[in-house]
Amino acid sequence: MSSINLFTLITLLPLLVLASSDSKPRWRDPAAPPLGLKKRAGNNTATPLNFESVGDTGVSAQMVFLGNNKKIYVLDKTENNPVEITGQYGTHPAWATEYDIESNEYRTMDVFSNTFCAGGGVLGNGTWVVFGGNQPVTTGGVASTDAEAYSDTDGGTAIRMLNPCTDESCEYIQGETSYSTSADNTGGWLQMTGRRWYPMVEALPDGSLIIIGGDKNGGYVNTQAQDNPTYEFFPPRADDPQDLQFLADTLPINLYALTWLMPSGKLFMQANRKTILYDYNQKTTTNLPDMPYAARVYPASAATAMLPLIPDNGYAATVLFCGGSATEQWGNDGTAGYNVTAVAADNTCVRITPEGSAKYEDDDYMFEGRSMGQFVILPDGTFWMGNGVGMGTAGYGDDGYSVGQSYGQAPIYMPAIYNSSAPLGSRWNRTGLVASANERMYHSVAILLPDGSLFIAGSNPNKDFTTAQWRSRTDSERWYPWYYNEERPIYEGFQDTFSYGGNSFNITMNSTDEATAQNTKMVVIRGGFNTHAIGFGQRYLQLNSSYEIDMNTGKTTHIVSQMPGGSTGPNLFQPGPAMFFVVVNGVPSQGEFVMVGSGKVETQATQTNQDLPSSTVIAVVQPENTTQTNSNGGSSSGSGSGSSGALSTSQINHVTLGATIIASLLAISTLL
Ligand SMILES: *[C@@H]1O[C@H](CO)[C@@H](O)[C@H](O)[C@H]1NC(C)=O
Ligand SMILES: *[C@@H]1O[C@H](CO)[C@@H](O)[C@H](O)[C@H]1NC(C)=O
Ligand SMILES: *[C@@H]1O[C@H](CO)[C@@H](O)[C@H](O)[C@H]1NC(C)=O
Ligand SMILES: *[C@@H]1O[C@H](CO)[C@@H](O)[C@H](O)[C@H]1NC(C)=O
Ligand SMILES: *[C@@H]1O[C@H](CO)[C@@H](O)[C@H](O)[C@H]1NC(C)=O
Ligand SMILES: *[C@@H]1O[C@H](CO)[C@@H](O)[C@H](O)[C@H]1NC(C)=O
Ligand SMILES: *[C@@H]1O[C@H](CO)[C@@H](O)[C@H](O)[C@H]1NC(C)=O
Ligand SMILES: *[C@@H]1O[C@H](CO)[C@@H](O)[C@H](O)[C@H]1NC(C)=O
Ligand SMILES: *[C@@H]1O[C@H](CO)[C@@H](O)[C@H](O)[C@H]1NC(C)=O
Ligand SMILES: [Cu+2]
The pLDDT tens digits for 164-197 are 999 999 999 986 544 444 433 344 447 899 999 9
pLDDT band at 650 (very low <50, low <70, confident <90, very high): very low
Under 8 Å between Cβ of 274 and 229: no
Burial 177-215 (b: 16+ CB within 10 A, else e): bebebeeebeebebbbbbbbbbbbbbbbbbbbbbbbbbb
Triad 78, 79, 83: Cα angle to 5°: 105
Q: Candidates 307, 312, 418, 421: which one to mutate for ligand 4, based on the most atoms within 8 Å of Cβ?
A: 421
Residue 54, ligand 1, Cβ within 6 A: yes
pLDDT for residue 3 is more than 60: no
User: Residue 9: which H helix or E strand, with range?
Assistant: helix 6-21
Confidence label for 665 from pLDDT (cuts 50, 70 and 90):
very low
Taking CA atoms, 650 is separated from 8, 14, 162, 464, 551, in Å, by 10, 15, 56, 72, 11
What does the pLDDT look like over 435-473, one tens digit per residue? Answer: 999 999 999 999 999 999 999 999 999 999 999 999 999
Q: How many CB atoms lie under 10 A from the CB of residue 322?
A: 29
Ligand nearest to the CA of 419: 4
For the chain, report the end-to-end CA distance as a whole number of angstroms.
15
- Name the 3-class secondary structure at 223: coil
Map residue 79 onto helix, strand or coil. coil
**Separation CA 185–CA 425 (nearest Å):** 53
- Expressed in angstroms and rounded, the spacing between residue 37 Cα and the centre of ligand 6 is 19
The domain segmentation of the chain, as residue ranges, is: 1-30+114-270, 497-618
Q: What are phi and psi of 291, to 5 degrees?
A: -70, 125
Tens-place pLDDT, residues 490-505: 999 999 999 999 999 9
Q: Which of 401, 406, 409 to mutate to test the pocket of ligand 3 (most atoms within 8 A of CB)?
A: 401
Tell whether the model's pLDDT for residue 659 goes beyond 90.
no
pLDDT of 218? 87
Provide residues with CB under 6 Å of ligand 4: 380, 382, 419, 421-422, 586
Nearest-angstrom CA–CA distance, 286 and 266: 10
Separation of 29 CA from ligand 6 center, angstroms? 6
Whether omega before 205 lies within 30 degrees of 0, making that bond cis, reads no
Ligand 4: residue whose CA is nearest its atom 6:
422
Q: Are 549 and 505 in contact (CB under 8 A)?
A: no
Contacts of 167 (CB under 8 A, 6+ apart): none
pLDDT digits (tens, 9 = 90+) for 474-493: 999 999 999 998 989 999 99
Ligand nearest to the CA of 645: 9
Ligand (nearest to CA of 559): 7
Q: Which long-range contacts (CB under 8 A, 24 or more apart) does 637-640 make?
A: 637/3, 637/4, 638/3, 638/4, 638/5, 638/8, 640/3
Ramachandran region, residue 636 (left: φ > 0; alpha: ψ -120 to 50; beta: rest): beta
* pLDDT, tens digit, 9 for 90 and up, residues 525-547: 999 999 999 999 999 999 999 99
* Cis status, amide bond into 235, omega within 30 of 0: yes
Instruction: Please state, rounded to an integer, the average pLDDT across all residues of the chain.
Output: 87
Q: How far apart are CA 627 and CA 618, in angstroms?
A: 9
- Any atom of ligand 9 within 6 Å of the Cβ of 648: yes
- Shortest CA distance to 306 belongs to which of 315, 297, 294, 314? 315
- What are the pocket residues of ligand 6 if the criterion is a CB atom closer than 6 Å to any ligand atom? 29, 490-492, 509-510
Q: What is the rounded distance in angstroms from the CA atom of residue 214 to the CA atom of residue 246? A: 12
* For ligand 8, atom 1: residue with the closest CA: 544
Say how many C-beta atoms besides its own lie within 10 A of residue 368's C-beta. Answer: 16
pLDDT confidence band for 651 (50 / 70 / 90): very low
Indicate which atom in ligand 6 lies nearest the CA of residue 27.
14
Length of the chain (residues): 672
For residue 22, pLDDT beyond 80: no
At residue 627 the predicted structure's pLDDT band, cuts being 50, 70 and 90, is low
Give the integer Cα–Cα distance in Å for 244 and 200. Answer: 13
Ligand closest to 640 (CA) is: 9
> Is residue 339 lining ligand 3, measured as CB closer than 6 Å?
yes
Pocket of ligand 8 contains residue 315 by CB under 6 Å: yes
Average pLDDT over every residue of 108-112 = 94
- Give dist(CA 647, CA 546) in Å, integer: 26
Q: Decide: 533 and 303 in contact? Cβ < 8 Å.
A: yes
Q: What is the pLDDT of residue 153?
A: 87
Q: Of all atoms in ligand 9, which is nearest to the CA of residue 622?
A: 14
Would residue 566 be called left, alpha or beta, if left means φ above 0 and alpha means ψ between -120 and 50 degrees?
left
Instruction: State if residue 466 touches ligand 1 by the CB under 6 angstroms criterion.
Output: no
Ligand 9, from 8, 626, 639: best to mutate by most atoms within 8 Å of Cβ?
639
Which ligand 1 atom sits nearest the alpha carbon of residue 43?
A: 1
Residues 504/559, Cβ–Cβ less than 8 Å: yes
Q: Domain 497-618 is of which CATH architecture?
A: Sandwich (2.60)
Kindly report, residue by residue over 336-381, the tens digit of the pLDDT: 999 999 999 999 999 999 999 999 999 999 999 999 999 999 999 9
628 lines ligand 9 (CB under 6 A): no
Nearest to 510 by CA among 459, 553, 463, 462: 553
Question: Does ligand 1 come within 6 angstroms of the Cβ of 102?
Answer: no
Closest CA to 470 of 533, 411, 414: 411
Query: 621 falls in which pLDDT band (50, 70, 90)?
Result: confident
Interval between CA 95 and ligand 1 midpoint (Å): 25
Confidence (pTM): 0.87
pLDDT reading at 44 higher than 90: no
pLDDT confidence of residue 89? 82
CA 292 to chain CA centroid, Å, is 25
- 429 ligand 5 Cβ < 6 A: yes
Q: Which atom of ligand 6 is nearest to the CA of 32?
A: 9
Among 256, 339, 354, which Cα is nearest to 307's? 354
* Confidence band of 43 (pLDDT split at 50, 70, 90): low
Which atom belonging to ligand 8 lies closest to the Cα atom of 610? 5
Helix (H) and strand (E) counts for the chain? 5, 49
In the predicted model, is pLDDT for residue 126 greater than 50? yes
**For 571, how many CA atoms within 13 A lie in the half-sphere containing its CB?**
16
**What is each CA distance from 632 to 166, 377, 404, 525, 553, in whole angstroms?**
45, 35, 67, 31, 18
Q: Which protein residue's CA is at the shortest distance from atom 1 of ligand 7?
A: 506
